[in-house]
Amino acid sequence: MVFSFFKKSPEKMVARPAAAPRPKSEAPATPAAPAPAAGTAAPSAEAAQEVSRELAPLDFTSSVPSAQAAPVAPSDFSDLSESDGGFHLEADIDPVEADIEQAAVLYANGQDAATGAVLENAVHVHHFGPGERLWLMLFDFYRLSNQHAPFDALGIEYAKAFEKSPPVWRGAAAPKAPPKPTAFSGTVIFKGSLTGENDAAFAALDEAIDKNPKLRVELNRVKEIDDLGAERMLGVLETARKKKREIEWAGRDALVAMLETLTEVGKRENAGCWLLLLELYQLMGKEAVFEDMAINYAVTFEMSPPSWDPKRVVAGEPKPLAIEVGSEEEEAANFHLKGDLKAERFGGLPAFIESQDPVVLEFSEVTRIDFVSAGTLVNMLTPAKRAGKRIVIKHPNHLVAELLGVVGLKGVAEITYAKQ
């Protein structure tokens, strides 16, 4: 703006701050000019500039100030002046998840007193919705530490908070004698028919025998057999004998019944079935039946039969595996784990994983697992998951289950809980 110092009266030369708008209460330095009548000239440039100073809009949508907007003093917008111009985004931290992780880690490290304190405080804060997980952890903590009275008291509060029946006491986790080592380090289920074309089942059986000095073979699901399948099974038995493997055959009695229907004296058919039947009689210790069958074989095929060897008799047929009827895991034998797992290497698990699909790990008797063991478990199971196998961890207590979640195992395996 250009000011003239020659034709303006002194009273109009009132100095004003260039940046601060004039308060409305302040009296104007000069009398207000009357509104121009219609047809009169437009206001002077000086008057237009004065109006623009007072009414210029404030644009908060751009960091670049408008060329015509008057500067705004910081004191006019104190809440904006305190910002440094950056954006501060704070990630939401779920308080329930934070308490769950803290309690799970403390318990895994053996800090039971701290674990109890965290959980007891948490259940008073989180008594609805997702907070139920903390209550279930505390129930298992009381049960594992044999605190019956607090368990019952918690049950009353649980019923009020969640309006449903609380978990029942399943017995104290008193110290137990070390479990006896299992007789057989692995189990393989022969899936499908015992026929010559079932390459997948025979390949899995050969691999399991190669990697396990002691093995249980499940034959209970075999519903059909042919001569070529019998010959291939004889080859498997011969390989196991040469490698000095101990094999427990489950379902052999039913297999014998099927073979007996395929062997007929005087009919020169199904020689492989005859020889497999003789082999099973040998393993079962049925010497008299074996000798009769051997004579019939010699008559029918005009060949010398196998000889009886008392050293090859094995124990009676084992009981079937206790598998939940109707469950999706009924095709799998469980890998059982027990007690406190500390720096556990899980011997026998790699061979078990290779021979099973789905892979089912039974955790009902696991009281605690540390970070080292949980990490080892993740490393063992991840390749099987990537290969397309289904991994199931059955019936862990909630303290163990939440620790498995902390290390990322829930992304690899399904976790199923026991019924309360």
Looking at residue 358, which CATH number applies to its domain?
3.30.750.24
- Considering the domain architecture, whether residues 190 and 302 belong to the same structural domain is answered as yes
- Considering the domain architecture, whether residues 308 and 361 belong to the same structural domain is answered as no
For residue 330, what pLDDT is reported? 46
- Considering the domain architecture, whether residues 289 and 338 belong to the same structural domain is answered as no
- Considering the domain architecture, whether residues 158 and 200 belong to the same structural domain is answered as no
β-strand partners of 359: 391
For residue 92, what pLDDT is reported? 64
Is 403 inside any structural domain? yes
| SS3 state at 112 | helix
Sheet containing 246-250, strands listed edge to edge, beginning at the edge strand earlier in sequence: 186-189, 214-218, 246-250
For residue 380, what pLDDT is reported? 94
Is 75 inside any structural domain? no
What pLDDT digit, counting tens, does each position of 273-319 carry? 999 999 999 988 899 999 999 999 999 999 999 999 888 887 665 55
What pLDDT digit, counting tens, does each position of 313-348 carry? 876 655 544 444 334 434 446 888 889 999 998 887
Q: Phi and psi (nearest 5°) for 400?
A: -70, -45
- Strands of 239-358 (E only): list them: 246-250, 334-341
Last residue of a domain, one of 248, 282, 312: 312
For residue 106, what pLDDT is reported? 95
Q: How far apart are CA 394 and CA 413, in angstroms?
A: 10
- Residue-averaged pLDDT of the chain: 77
327-358 b/e (C-beta count within 10 Å ≥ 16 → b): eebeebbbbebebebeebebebbebbbbbbbe
For residue 12, what pLDDT is reported? 47
- Considering the domain architecture, whether residues 252 and 370 belong to the same structural domain is answered as no
Domain encompassing residue 386: 334-416
Question: Dihedral through CA 397, CA 97, CA 377, CA 365, nearest 10?
Answer: -10
For residue 357, what pLDDT is reported? 81
Q: Tens place of pLDDT for every residue, the chain, 420 residues?
A: 444 444 444 444 455 555 555 554 444 444 444 444 444 444 454 544 554 444 444 444 444 444 444 444 444 433 433 444 444 444 567 889 999 999 999 999 999 999 999 999 999 999 888 899 999 999 999 999 999 999 999 999 999 999 889 999 975 444 444 444 444 446 788 888 999 999 988 988 888 888 888 888 888 888 899 999 999 999 999 998 898 888 888 888 889 999 999 999 999 999 999 999 999 999 888 999 999 999 999 999 999 999 998 888 876 655 544 444 334 434 446 888 889 999 998 887 887 888 788 889 999 999 999 999 999 999 999 999 999 999 999 999 999 999 999 999 989 999 999 876
Domain count, the chain: 3
Is 138 inside any structural domain? yes
